[in-house]
Amino acid sequence: MVDLTIEQFFTGCIEPVKLTRRVYDSHNLPRVSVKVFHLVVRAGMLPGERYKYENCGDETPDLSPGDVVFVLRASVDESFARHPEHPRDVVLRAPPIPAGDVMFAFEFMDLGRYKRWCSGSSVGAVLQSMLQNAAGLHASVCYTGEGLPAPVGSHSAPGDLHVHIPVPAVPRPAGLAVLPPVHSPLRPRSVYLIGVDASPSKVSPPSPRMGVSHLNVLKR
C-alpha cells in the first residue's frame, strides 16, 4: 500500500517508493537489494489504483523474479476525508470557530491550498440549528465541482467540496422563545426570529438583514 494525501490525489504527483527485495548472486547466495520505483499519480486518480511491475519482486533460488504491485491508498488526514457515498467528493472538516464568528466570516484552506473566505451578514440555517440543538452541530457548505477532479479525457464530472463547520452549541436562556419560521423578502428560505416572549405584541418586526441565509464565497 502507498499512502497519499487527498491533496496529492487532487493535484497529482510523482511518488517515490523504496522496495527492499531478495535476490541471488552468481553463487546462488541470497542478498538484499533496494530498488526505487517512481509512481506517476495523475490528477483524477482515486485510491485503489494499482501499479504492476513485472519481474521486479523477490527472486527464488532458480532466479525467477516475482511481480510487484503497488496500491494507492488515501492517508488519514485531520482536515480532509473522502465522502462515504461519492468517491470524488471531499469533506473538509473546518476547525471549530466561535458561534458568533459564523454570523460574519471565517477562513479555510481548500484542496489546492488556496485560502478561501466565506462571509455572510447572518446565516439563517446555522442560527436556527444553534438554537434547536443543545449538543452542538455541524453547519455544512457545498462547493460544486471543487472536489477531486475527473481524469483527463473522461466524461465524468469532478466531485464537490463539502465544508463541515463545527459550531458550539448555545444554551437557550430561560424565557427565550423561538417563533415559527417567517419567509425572508431577500431569499425564499425560512429563518427564525428571536424574542423575549412568544406573544406577537412583544416581538420586534423582522429586519431585512435576517433574510440573508446564504454564504458568499470570495477567492483570494
pLDDT at 198 over 90: no
Sign of the CA dihedral with 101 first, then 102, 107, and 108 last: positive
Q: Is 58 a residue whose pLDDT tops 60?
A: yes
Bridge partners of 33? 21
135 vs 52, more confident = 52
* 116-125, 143-152, 192-201, range with the lowest pLDDT: 192-201
Choice between 146 and 112, residue whose per-residue pLDDT is larger: 146
Of 109 and 211, which is predicted with more confidence?
A: 109
Q: Is the pLDDT of residue 25 over 60?
A: yes
List CB contacts of 72: < 8 A, sequence separation 6 or more: 1, 2, 4, 9, 39, 41, 45, 46, 47, 48, 49, 50, 51
Is residue 209 pLDDT above 50, yes or no? Answer: no
pTM of the model: 0.60
Q: Is the pLDDT of residue 4 over 90?
A: yes
Domain 2-74 falls under CATH 2.60.260.20: yes
Where in the chain is CATH 2.60.260.20? 2-74
Measured CA to CA in angstroms, residue 126 lies from 133, 164, 177 at distances of 10, 12, 17
Mean of the per-residue pLDDT values of the chain: 72
Phi-psi region of 20 (alpha: psi -120 to 50; beta: other; left: phi over 0): beta
Q: Higher model confidence: residue 49 or residue 121?
A: 49
Residue 170 DSSP symbol: -
Distance CA 218, CA 96 (A): 20
